[in-house]
Structures are given as C-alpha cells and as structure tokens.
Chains A and B, each alone.
Chain A
Amino acid sequence: MASSSSTLSRPAALRRPKAFRGPTAFRSVGRSILLTLPIALWSLLMFTPAFQRAGRDEHIGAGVVIVFMTALFFLMMRTGETYRWRRIFFVALGFLFPVGFIAALVAQRGTMSIPISRMVSGDTPFCFMVTPSIILPAAFAKTIVFPGSILPTASNPHSIAIMIGIWFAMTLVLGKAWCSYACFFGGIEEGFAAVAKRRRLHRFVTRYSHILRLIPWAILVFVVLVSAAIFEPVYCMWLCPFKAVTEFPAVRNVETAIQMGIFVALFVGLVVVLPYLTKKRTQCGFFCPFGAFQSIFNKINLFEIRFDREKCVDCTLCQTSCPTVALSKESIAEGKTLLNCMKCGACVDACKKDAAVWHLKGTPVAVKPERARLLFLYGAWALATMFGGSILANSVATMMHWLPLK
C-alpha cells in the first residue's frame, strides 16, 4: 500500500516511462511463430552436426542454444523490441565466452598464459581485434605480425584466415552491428552497465562525448602505426582489456608484469567500473580500436537507424539510452546516427514517439520501418546464432562437464 501510494505521488516526469513496444506492438502469437520459423530452422541446421557426433554435454549445449536463440527471436517478433532481448543474448555471450575459452586453454596447456613455444609454433588462437594491426605489415613486408597459423590446424582451429573470413562476411551484412551481435567481449561490460540502477556520470559523458567518441580512432591510428613500426600486434601486447579474462603472455619479467598490470587496470576500469557508473559500453564506445575500424563499414552497409523529424520532439531519450554515445543533438537534428552506431536498437526501443526507425538505405525514411528491421534482424540473428551460438553451446557443454550430474 505504501509503495503504491509513493508511486502515485511521484511527479510524472520522474516516473519510470513505460517500456515502448514498437510500431508493431504485440504481434499475434501465430504470426510471431511464423516469423520466427526461419531462425528456428537455421538454428537446427547449425547445430545438427553437434547432435550427430558429440557427447551428451554437447547435445545439451546445442539444445539449450537452439531454444535460447529461437525464444529470444520470438520475443523480438512478439514485442517489437530489439535491444532488450538482444542484450540477454549478448550478455550471456560475453560472460560465457571466457568460460569455454579458459577451460579449453587449461585443458590444452594447463594455464591461461601463452608459453613462448606456442607463440613460436603459431598456435595462438587469432582474435579479430588484431585485424587492423596486421594490414600495414602484411602490405609492406608480407608478414602477419601475430603468432597464429594462417590456415586451421589440429591444435589451432581458430586460424587467421577463418577468423578474418567470418568477420568480413558478417561485416558486409551487418556493418558495425558486429559489435552488438557477434563480438564476444562487449557483453561483459553491457552486463555491468545493465545492473546499475542509475547513471552516475551522465553529465560528464554528455558534456565530453564529442571528445570521448574520438578516442577509439586515435587508438586505432596509434595501434596501426606502431604495429607497423615494431612488427608486433601492439594492441594484444599492451592494450587489450580482455587479456585479463582470456590469455596473456606469461609473467616472467618486469615488462610482462607491466603488461599484465595494464590489462587488469583496463579491464577493471573500462569493462567493470565505468560501465557500472555510466550505464554505457565504455570500452566499446571510448576505447576499442576495432570498433572504430568497424565504423568505416557502416558507410557501405545497407542498414541504419534514422529519425523521422516530423515525429521527433527532441526529448533526447534516444541519446541518453545509446550505450556508445553514437547520437548527438546535431545528428538527431539531421535525422541520422553518427558513424559509430552499433545498431543495437536501444534508441528505437527508447523512443516514445516512433521517431527512431530502422531503415534500409535507398528507401524512404519511416516508410515500413518494420520491414527494414526484419530484414536486418534475420541477417544479424542468423549470424549471431552461427557465431555466438556455437560459442555459447561450447560454454554450456563445458559447464555441463563440471556439474556432477552423471
């Protein structure tokens, strides 16, 4: 009784807004199932091989992922919301990726650190983050400055060619949406951003957003130039926050101890503390050079978010909700997002006036936006199921190994 009266007495402006439920709010169950059917079939197709050859834990992992991905897509179709359901998948991917990855490392090597023998033999799994760093040395000296194998081997299936191939295919379809539907790092900070009750540094972020969003570009240029100068993947060696939860050079001297200190400090600061304080993806928005590199592909990608200026009331709810400060007052006034938009759908879900819409380039703005959303989501979710889903299935299977259920 007391709580209900306090809610009623709260001024209207401070009341939590009702979740907006999209232009096609609450499709019928039958129609939603029909729209979900292609994703359900795709999921089955992706994980059928796991049922044919793997053990019980792998079967459970694949089954869980099929149900999980299909259910989330169904909810996207049913409610008209994108961000809310995508975030569940993305946070799960972020937190479960290290589980499977670390378990595989420990099983293979007995440690998370990379022994020098593995580096020399090119057995280090390739990470897409290195892609910008290897371009100049490869062009100048025909050398891949990463200790990984170009083609897959029995001990290292995550080869350079495969990872770049997957990344390139996904980027052509999704543009920078890779960062919202495929990157297995961003989910951790999105999780920490989600648990925070309020935005503590909102004023600071808003005031300096025009500078903060340029930092990834500066780090990208720095990493590309220095990697070419010293023939080392500088980002991996010195700046990757996620080394703290994946693999890292063994700490054997002062230099590697400093490297490890930097990794841990960046992880704690950019992936845990700042996302919690700001409710933003601070590592993705204010640091990640690969994200800046991905932004270039937004130029050639077909999908984007646009703003219907006739409906927009400049309430800035979209700007506040954007997890990577990819919106400014100027860009909203122009009816566009900035180049670093990750197409996560947070602004579309937050807009109460249906002004923020999904858009297919070359078509009129705000005319059948749900069609553009569907086209985008089919591509994005199919690739998320294939790439992120297999990671999730592997991690679930790993956890099943640990559980005393046999």
Chain B
Amino acid sequence: MLGLATGPVCLATCGPVVVPWMMVQPRGVRGHSRQLGLFLAARLAGYMVFATAVWLAGSSIQRAWVGQAGAGRAGIGQSWLMGGIEVLLAAALVVYAVGWPHRRCAAANPAYAQASARLGTTDKLVRIGEAPRSLRSGALALGFLTGINLCPPFLVAGVRAAELEHLSAALVFFVCFFVGTAVWFLPFLSMGFVQRTPAVVTVARMVAVLLACWYGFSGVYLLIERTFYG
C-alpha cells in the first residue's frame, strides 16, 4: 500500500532518468518492455541492497532520519550517499544516453578507423540524432542507481524496514514496496510508440546532458557542503 500510495512521487523522482533513457532507444514496445524490465530489475536489486543496509543499521539510522524528516534536504550520512549517487547518475546518463566518449574519439582517429576496418569491428562515429544500440548495462546501471537513490517515499520505507525484527521481513517489505511503485512505471511503455525522428533522439540526448549537469551539480554541491560545513 505504501508503494502504491507513494508511486506518483517515485514516478516523478525517477522520471528524469527514465524518460531520456527510453527516448534514445529504438522505437517499439517490445524493446521498451525489455529495457523497462531491466531497469526495474536493477531497481529491485538496489532496493534489496538498501533494505539490507537499513536493517543492519537498525535503530540508529531510524533516529537520524526521523529527526530530519521535515528538513527537506538530506543530513549526516545521507548527504554523502546522495551526493555520491547523484554524481554517479550524472556520469551514467552521459555515458549511456549520449554515448561512450572514448569510443567516439577513437573512432574519429583515422589510424583507429583503418585498424577497425582490418579487424572487421563495427565501431563508428555516433552521429547526432542517430539511434544508439540498446545497451542492457545502461538500463541496469540507471535502474540500480535510482534504486538506491534516497527519495522521500524510499526514506519512509527505510524507516519502516529498520524497525522490523528479521532481515527477511525487511526484504519482503521492500519487495512489496517495489511492486507497488513499479505499477506506476507502466505508462513509460507508451513511449515506445513515439516516432523516433533524428530530432527526437537529439532532444532526448540533450535532455540527458542537462540532467547529467543537474545531478552532477546537485551531487557535487552536497558533497562540498558536507565536507566544508559538516
């Protein structure tokens, strides 16, 4: 029930990551279903890691979080964690939604291109607007990172899980929480119907870069704030 009730907030929190990622995928509901499935599976894995961590931390984490519930921003260890996760999310968005920068640089080198041709490899320059290959690792990385990202419903679930007597109960609680929130992600499948013109793919890549800047700035700001102001 907690997952279903807080699902819209999860949707809004993960939407900035899911939308550009799905928009740079080739058109088709089947491909989008696979990508969303991988994303959610990795997100579940993130939940499990988090559930284990909060259960092990137990009442101390509960005390620390409940005290900051109304603060809006993270405090103590949360700042480090959130800052780090946001920087990683920024890097993952750039790498997976925009493309591997080193591969593009290498492919731009004529010597590399000749060597590739000799070896029969398929690396090539990524053109603006060109749809990328579907990368499973992208969906997995982004799913896992959003799975351990501390959004408000996640903190509520974490406090509840920390109170439980057994680890297994905490894990089951988070699985149920995941199922409740995952329902809200199904509308993202409709993005498979959107026409993939070069303009759409280019806009999605630009959005990914802007979001990477946003997450990067937010993460670095949190880390600096934590480091200098305690």
Give every chain A residue within 8 A of B16 (Cβ-Cβ): 222, 225-226, 229
Q: Is the CB of B210 within 8 A of A219?
A: yes
Q: Is the CB of B202 within 8 A of A211?
A: yes
Q: Which of A136, A140, A141, A226 contacts B211 (CB 8 A)?
A: A226
- For the complex, is B199 an interface residue (Cβ under 8 Å from A)? yes
Q: Is the CB of A215 within 8 A of B13?
A: no
Q: Is the CB of B202 within 8 A of A140?
A: no
B151 nearest in chain A by CB position: A229
Q: Is the CB of A218 within 8 A of B12?
A: no
User: In the bound complex, what is the Cα–Cα distance between A371 and B20 (angstroms)?
Assistant: 44
Give every chain A residue within 8 A of B19 (Cβ-Cβ): 221, 225
B contact patch SS:
helix
B228 nearest in chain A by CB position: A254
Knowing A211-B128, A222-B210, A225-B211, say if A217 contacts B203 (CB, 8 Å): yes
- For the complex, is A310 an interface residue (Cβ under 8 Å from B)? no
Minimal beta-carbon separation of B13 from chain A (angstroms): 5
Q: Is the CB of B199 within 8 A of A214?
A: yes
Q: Is the CB of A229 within 8 A of B202?
A: no
Per-residue B-contact encoding for A204-234, CB less than 8 Å = 1, 0 else: 0000000100110111011001101100000
- For the complex, is A330 an interface residue (Cβ under 8 Å from B)? no
Knowing A211-B128, A218-B207, A218-B210, say if A225 contacts B15 (CB, 8 Å): yes
Q: Which of A136, A137, A221, A228 contacts B207 (CB 8 A)?
A: A221
B11, B207, B211: most-surrounded residue (chain A CB, <10 A): B207
Minimal beta-carbon separation of B160 from chain A (angstroms): 22
Minimal beta-carbon separation of B110 from chain A (angstroms): 23
User: In the bound complex, what is the Cα–Cα distance between A137 and B214 (angstroms)?
Assistant: 19
A221 nearest in chain B by CB position: B207
User: In the bound complex, what is the Cα–Cα distance between A159 and B150 (angstroms)?
Assistant: 35
Give every chain B residue within 8 A of A225 (Cβ-Cβ): 15-16, 19, 207, 211
- For the complex, is B112 an interface residue (Cβ under 8 Å from A)? no
Q: Is the CB of B128 within 8 A of A140?
A: no
User: In the bound complex, what is the Cα–Cα distance between A214 and B196 (angstroms)?
Assistant: 14
Minimal beta-carbon separation of B7 from chain A (angstroms): 10
Give every chain A residue within 8 A of B207 (Cβ-Cβ): 218, 221-222, 225
Q: Is the CB of A218 within 8 A of B206?
A: yes
User: In the bound complex, what is the Cα–Cα distance between A218 and B201 (angstroms)?
Assistant: 10
- Which interface class (under 10, 10 to 19, 20 to 34, 35 or more) fits B? 20 to 34
- For the complex, is B221 an interface residue (Cβ under 8 Å from A)? yes
Q: Is the CB of A214 within 8 A of B203?
A: yes
B214 nearest in chain A by CB position: A226
Give every chain B residue within 8 A of A217 (Cβ-Cβ): 199, 203, 206
- For the complex, is B8 an interface residue (Cβ under 8 Å from A)? yes
User: In the bound complex, what is the Cα–Cα distance between A225 and B214 (angstroms)?
Assistant: 12
User: In the bound complex, what is the Cα–Cα distance between A222 and B128 (angstroms)?
Assistant: 19
Give every chain B residue within 8 A of A255 (Cβ-Cβ): 221
Q: Which of A137, A214, A228 contacts B202 (CB 8 A)?
A: A214
Q: List CB contacts (< 8 Å) of B6-39 with chain A.
A: 8-9, 11-13, 15-16, 19-20
Q: Is the CB of A215 within 8 A of B206?
A: yes
User: In the bound complex, what is the Cα–Cα distance between A136 and B9 (angstroms)?
Assistant: 11
Per-residue A-contact encoding for B202-224, CB less than 8 Å = 1, 0 else: 11101101110010000001000
A231 nearest in chain B by CB position: B12
User: In the bound complex, what is the Cα–Cα distance between A255 and B221 (angstroms)?
Assistant: 9
B202 nearest in chain A by CB position: A214
Q: Is the CB of B206 within 8 A of A214?
A: yes
Minimal beta-carbon separation of B131 from chain A (angstroms): 15
B199 nearest in chain A by CB position: A214
Q: List CB contacts (< 8 Å) of B168-218 with chain A.
A: 199, 202-204, 206-207, 209-211, 214
A136 nearest in chain B by CB position: B12
Minimal beta-carbon separation of B73 from chain A (angstroms): 11
User: In the bound complex, what is the Cα–Cα distance between A218 and B207 (angstroms)?
Assistant: 5
User: In the bound complex, what is the Cα–Cα distance between A217 and B198 (angstroms)?
Assistant: 13
Give every chain A residue within 8 A of B214 (Cβ-Cβ): 222, 226
User: In the bound complex, what is the Cα–Cα distance between A226 and B90 (angstroms)?
Assistant: 14
Q: Which of B11, B20, B204 contacts A140 (CB 8 A)?
A: B11
Q: List CB contacts (< 8 Å) of A351-403 with chain B.
A: none
User: In the bound complex, what is the Cα–Cα distance between A221 and B24 (angstroms)?
Assistant: 14
User: In the bound complex, what is the Cα–Cα distance between A185 and B56 (angstroms)?
Assistant: 55
8 contacts between A and B (CB under 8 A): A211-B202, A214-B206, A217-B203, A218-B207, A218-B209, A221-B203, A222-B16, A225-B19
Which A positions have Cβ atoms within 8 angstroms of B?
136-137, 140-141, 211, 214-215, 217-219, 221-222, 225-226, 228-229, 255
Which B positions have Cβ atoms within 8 angstroms of A?
8-9, 11-13, 15-16, 19-20, 128, 199, 202-204, 206-207, 209-211, 214, 221
Known: A140-B11, A214-B206, A218-B207. 4 other contacts (CB 8 A): A140-B8, A217-B199, A222-B211, A226-B214
Cβ-closest 10 pairs across A and B: A218-B206, A225-B16, A228-B12, A222-B210, A140-B8, A221-B207, A217-B203, A218-B207, A218-B203, A229-B12
